[in-house]
Amino acid sequence: MVRYGRILVAGLLASALAACADSGAPASPAASGPTAPRADASGIGQTMRLAHAPVCPGVPAGSARCHSLVLVDAAGNPYATTSPSGYGPSDLQAAYGLAQAAASQGAGQTIAIVDAYDDPKAESDLGVYRSHYGLPACTTANGCFRKVNQSGGTSYPKANASWSQEISLDLDMASAICPNCRILLVEASSNSFANLAAAVDEAARLGANAISNSYGGSEYSSEVTDQSHYNHPGVAVTVSSGDAGYGVEFPAASQYVTAVGGTTLSRSGTGFAETVWSGAGSGCSAYIAKPTWQADAGCSRRTVADVAAVANPNTGVAVYDSYAYRGSSGWMVFGGTSVASPIIASVYALAGNASSLTYGSDPYSHLSSLHDIVSGSNGSCGGSYLCTGVSGYDGPTGNGSPSGAGAF
């Protein structure tokens, strides 16, 4: 277990994953879990069912699903409240040593969020989040916020409740880490890899300094050529590693991106600590060649992940969404590596040097600016570092989580 500040991680709370209905809405949890007072690291501080469900449904080959999880009630509906629970901007900035940078840096930087379908309330929901936490307004009118389709136009795709939750999560995390950054939301026409890739290309064309992608799907042989859409030198492209535990997904496997794994982030008193989150994706790609900047010996091809940030929904983040499933509207608690990807993209934006980046290599040469995650596991791989937190590089958390912006 990694220790920083003056705190030790408390024991992890068990959670249950649920299947998702074809409607694109979270289904009832497979197991609702015990009822217990929530006074844990996420600061939820209320009695509720300790369960969570995937936000996006399973998908066929050729498509991606979002990697977010939402805390749900006993009926499987997103647990919404009128005031936020879970980590807010000051918590995340403190945990990752970013408070000073967040206050003074990021002006002139643009973080692009790439997701599928339309969130018709994206800008207004973002306004609620930022207003509540005292962050500067980010609107179309003041030039901070812009929403486009995958071709750069304003004829948006059809709305989708599940992906709207993902969009709210991504926009809020970008705001939490880099409140002075501009935000560009690029909505793909669907969750097909082809449309999402087109949206990434459009985000780069429109001048994004960092592009966050909180989605993925099963690897496939032609991803070796398809990954060219994530090849944008001088732009930091981050991709969430997954939310189903040990195993590799695309586009996190691309050699052109920073693959972002997940942690359990806990607090008590004045410090924070992290362990591997059991749901983080990791492992050895089936198809992508090993980048020159990776040197781990247990995988001859691309190893996932590179870095990590908070992802456990039981120590999750506060998000505001008013376009949710079954009337659940308001403040919710989210997890998944969908949280971690926009966090890391925003740290890249805070650092402000994306124009000199060579893909995901920077964290490998600035280890002193990362918290090493040394315990926990996301599955069974014979005790290998590919699924177990160890000193130095490991699959679920890569080289670790941010300790300031120096590694980015």
pLDDT range class, residue 362, cuts 50, 70, 90: confident
Instruction: Establish if 269 belongs to a structural domain.
Output: yes
Query: 151 near 93, Cβ under 8 Å?
Result: no
Instruction: Give the Cα separation of 390 and 394 in Å (integer).
Output: 6
- Strand, helix or coil for residue 78: strand
* pLDDT per position as a tens digit, 57-114: 888 889 999 999 999 988 888 899 999 999 999 999 999 999 999 999 999 999 999 9
Of residues 61 and 20, more confidently modeled: 61
pTM here is 0.90
Residue with tokens 């979002």: 66
C-alpha distances (whole Å) from 250 to each of 107, 223, 247, 282, 300 are: 31, 7, 10, 11, 17
Task: Specify the pLDDT at position 53.
Answer: 94
DSSP 235: S
Instruction: Establish if 223 belongs to a structural domain.
Output: yes
Instruction: Establish if 40 belongs to a structural domain.
Output: no
Task: Specify the pLDDT at position 324.
Answer: 67
> Which parts of 206-336 fold into alpha helices (H)?
223-226
Range of the domain at 359: 89-310+337-402
* pLDDT per position as a tens digit, 236-267: 999 999 999 999 999 999 999 999 999 999 98
Amino acid identity of residue 320, one-letter, is Y
Task: Specify the pLDDT at position 355.
Answer: 84
Q: What is the mean pLDDT of residues 165-192?
A: 98
pLDDT range class, residue 160, cuts 50, 70, 90: very high
- 77, two tokens: 């509906």
Instruction: Establish if 275 belongs to a structural domain.
Output: yes
Instruction: Establish if 183 belongs to a structural domain.
Output: yes
Q: What is the mean pLDDT of residues 345-368?
A: 90
Average pLDDT of the chain, as a whole number? 88
pLDDT range class, residue 20, cuts 50, 70, 90: very low
Instruction: Establish if 21 belongs to a structural domain.
Output: no
- Residue 383 confidence (pLDDT) above 70: yes
The count of domains in the chain is 1
Which among 268, 247, 378, 362 has a CA at the least distance from the CA of 315?
A: 268
Residues 6+ apart with CB under 8 A from 295: none
- Residue 13 confidence (pLDDT) above 60: no
* pLDDT per position as a tens digit, 41-58: 344 433 344 599 999 988
Burial status of residue 270 (CB atoms within 10 A of its CB: 0-12, 13-18, 19 or more): exposed
CATH assignment of the domain containing 287 = 3.40.50.200
Which among 322, 1, 353, 23 has a CA at the least distance from the CA of 160?
A: 23
Task: Specify the pLDDT at position 48.
Answer: 43
Which among 252, 12, 211 has a CA at the least distance from the CA of 112?
A: 211
For 166, the enclosing helix (H) or strand (E) is helix 161-177
Q: What is the mean pLDDT of residues 311-339?
A: 91
Q: Which residues pair with 249 in a beta bridge?
A: 218
- Residue 295 confidence (pLDDT) above 90: yes
pLDDT range class, residue 33, cuts 50, 70, 90: very low
Residue with tokens 């010996």: 297
Residues 6+ apart with CB under 8 A from 388: 276, 376, 377, 381, 394, 395, 396
Instruction: Establish if 117 belongs to a structural domain.
Output: yes
Q: What are phi and psi of 352, to 5 degrees?
A: 75, 20
- Residue 15 confidence (pLDDT) above 60: no
Instruction: Give the Cα separation of 277 and 311 in Å (integer).
Output: 7
Instruction: Establish if 290 belongs to a structural domain.
Output: yes
